Amino acid sequence: MQLQDGQLPIYVQIAQWLEIEIIEQRIEAHGKIFSQYQLAEKFNVNPATAGKGLTILLEKELLYKKRGLGMFVMEGARERLMEERLQHGINEQVTALVEEARRLNISKKQLLQLIEQAFRKGGNE
Where residue 3 falls among pLDDT bands split at 50, 70, 90? low
Q: Which of 34-38, 69-73, 82-86, 104-108 has the lowest mean pLDDT?
A: 82-86
CATH number of the domain to which 68 belongs: 1.10.10.10
Q: How many domains does the chain have?
A: 2
Q: Does residue 94 lie in a domain region?
A: yes
- Percent of residues, the chain, with pLDDT higher than 90: 75
What's the whole-number mean pLDDT along residues 80-96? Answer: 88
Q: Does residue 3 lie in a domain region?
A: no
Burial class (CB in 10 A: 0-12, 13-18, 19+), 107: exposed
Average pLDDT for the chain:
92
1 has a pLDDT exceeding 60: no
Q: pLDDT tens across 20-36, in order?
A: 999 999 999 999 999 99
74 secondary structure, DSSP code: P
Q: Does residue 5 lie in a domain region?
A: no
For residue 63, the cross-strand partners are 73
Where residue 92 falls among pLDDT bands split at 50, 70, 90? confident
Where residue 110 falls among pLDDT bands split at 50, 70, 90? very high
What's the whole-number mean pLDDT along residues 98-121? Answer: 92
Does residue 21 sit in the same domain as residue 53? Answer: yes
SS3 labels along 17-53: HHHHHHHCCCCCCCCECCCHHHHHHHHCCCHHHHHHH
29 φ/ψ angles, rounded to the nearest 5 degrees: -55, 135
What range does the domain containing 97 cover? 78-122
Where residue 12 falls among pLDDT bands split at 50, 70, 90? very high
